[in-house]
Amino acid sequence: MYEARQDPYCYPGTDVLKNRLELREAAKLAAFEAEITAQRAAEPLPPGRLSYSHYRAIHRHLFQDVYAWAGRPRTIRMAKGGNAFCYPEHIDREMRRLFAELAAHRYFGDLDAESFAAQAAHFLAELNAIHPFREGNGRTQLSFLTLLAEHAGHPLLLERLNPAQFLAAIVKSFGGDEAPLRAVVRRLVGSP
């Protein structure tokens, strides 16, 4: 679970996020969230221009049935493993900067698979460090990466995805080591 102080997103006295079904048990909420977001992920994702607003629309699409705040940046400070994510007062600025850089790099189009993996891993590492949402950052990152890779001509082979390995690589990237994440993305984009 994330570390957060005075979390208005949770029911008082618990670490269970307020949700549309008003589930008060973490296990039941986790099961519902996993089921409904998997259903939403199987649907076509919202169209867009691979922008910050498009990214928020993807989060809203995936989590709209679970959280009233789906698609909106978090308003509290959070940390995981003692490491703080971007403060909420800086999220919009940092997301706009990151997505402006993505656009300036032409969404990593015209890159070979190796270069795409390196650029995409760096983008994901920065996106994770910003951590714009209270919950659902990883699933939104993966959905966005799928669109980005397809746009760049490197569609992902999601059958190769090992979720635990992807998560471990994201965590290492937060500490500055992007090599494992680059390797995971490279494996997902397949052969050159």
Q: What confidence tens digit (pLDDT) does each residue in 41-75 have? A: 999 999 999 999 999 999 999 999 999 999 999 99
| Residues found in the chain | 192
Best CA proximity match to 59, nearest among 122, 128, 144: 144
Q: State what percent of residues in the chain have pLDDT above 70.
A: 96
CB-based contact 101:23 (threshold 8 Å)? no
Q: What confidence tens digit (pLDDT) does each residue in 113-147 have? A: 999 999 999 999 999 999 999 999 999 999 999 99
Distance separating alpha carbons of residues 64 and 71, to the nearest angstrom: 8
Distance separating alpha carbons of residues 11 and 33, to the nearest angstrom: 16
Distance separating alpha carbons of residues 96 and 149, to the nearest angstrom: 20
Q: Residue 192 has what pLDDT?
A: 55
Q: Which amino acid is at 116?
A: F
* DSSP calls for 103-156: HHTGGGTT--HHHHHHHHHHHHHHHHHH--SSS-HHHHHHHHHHHHHHHTT---
Q: What confidence tens digit (pLDDT) does each residue in 88-115 have? A: 999 999 999 999 999 999 999 999 999 9
What CATH code is assigned to 3-189? 1.10.3290.10
pTM recorded for the entire structure: 0.94
Residues near 54 by beta carbon (within 8 Å), at least 6 away in sequence: 46, 48
Distance separating alpha carbons of residues 71 and 57, to the nearest angstrom: 6
Q: Residue 160 has what pLDDT?
A: 95
